[in-house]
Structure 1
Amino acid sequence: MRIEFYVLSSASPADRLRAACQLAAKGWRHGLPVLMRCADAAQRDELDQLLWRFRAESFIPHGLIEDDPDGPVVLALDEAPTVQQGLLINLASSLSPHIEHFSRIIEIVNQEPALLAACRENFRTYRQRGYDPKRVEL
């Protein structure tokens, strides 16, 4: 399993969601099923709206897990994915309870102190579980 922590230089939650949209589009274009795990329903709704208007020249097909669990880009909270071996973009501050279902995991880190601390803990937890997470500067 490939695990990467994409590190943003800003503390802006909006920058973090835009990065998530870019990564979801890239994963989808490469043929991976994408599950975007949101921190809460408000973030999921915001991301849903952002994906509709993210790029004027291209549409990112997406939906909520309860509406289209097998869609190309699925927005969820803690629901289990129905598709195996896809890409998880984790926007929650904790590890997904379903990490074994994915072939690739991306955690997006910004410079907001509480999120930074949570992501550092996630990095340690992945290592303790025998994974080799990588850091990627954006």
Structure 2
Amino acid sequence: MTQVDFYILPSADPLARLDFACKLTDKAWRLGHRVYLHCSDAAQREELDARLWRFKGETFVPHGPVEDDPDAPVALGIGDDPGQHQDLLVNLDLRIPEFFKRFARIAEIVVEEPSIRLAARESFRFYREQGYPLQDHRLQRL
């Protein structure tokens, strides 16, 4: 069954979610996981792409749009097709994508911005009611 992890960040800045997504993606990719980053729209995906390029000057996380390379180890998407990915879903949308069940793990990244926090609570409730194993990680710093 899919494991769902909520990462609660000590920030109200929505862009902190993207920075943490970069850190989480880098770590997961280096551990051999394939990562699908589900974005809310094209603008968020472009911003995340830019942050992945500059997130660590000395390292590189191979990534790209899922429609360009569905088999890439790290893919960024906005639609309903995560390509061949089924390992780790980093959900940056405020809604749970319909395809979430195919993933072994889901990461939901939460900041103290009211609309994001409310959406995360609704997602947590949904996953709990469906019986998914949940874990929350309250980070003290970014």
Would you call these one fold, judging by a TM-score over 0.5? Answer: yes
Cα deviation for residue 102 of structure 1 reads 0.6
1:98 is paired with a residue of what secondary structure? Answer: helix
* CA contact 1:33–1:83 (8 Å) conserved in 2: no
Cα deviation for residue 82 of structure 1 reads 2.5
What is aligned with 2:26?
Answer: 25
2:98 is paired with a residue of what secondary structure? Answer: coil
Q: Which amino acid aligns with 1:47?
A: L
Cα deviation for residue 85 of structure 1 reads 3.2
2:75 is paired with a residue of what secondary structure? Answer: strand
What is aligned with 2:126?
Answer: 125
* TM-score normalised by length of structure 2: 0.93
- Is residue 65 from structure 1 mapped to residue 66 from structure 2 by the alignment? yes
Cα deviation for residue 84 of structure 1 reads 4.4
Identity of aligned residues (%): 48
**RMSD value, Cα:** 1.0
* CA contact 1:78–1:97 (8 Å) conserved in 2: no
Q: How many aligned residue pairs are there?
A: 138
Q: Which amino acid aligns with 1:75?
A: L
What is aligned with 1:44?
Answer: 45
Structure 1 unmatched ranges of 5 or more: none
C-alpha distance in structure 1 between counterparts of 2:86 and 2:15, whole Å = 28
What is aligned with 1:16?
Answer: 17
Structure 2 unmatched ranges of 5 or more: none
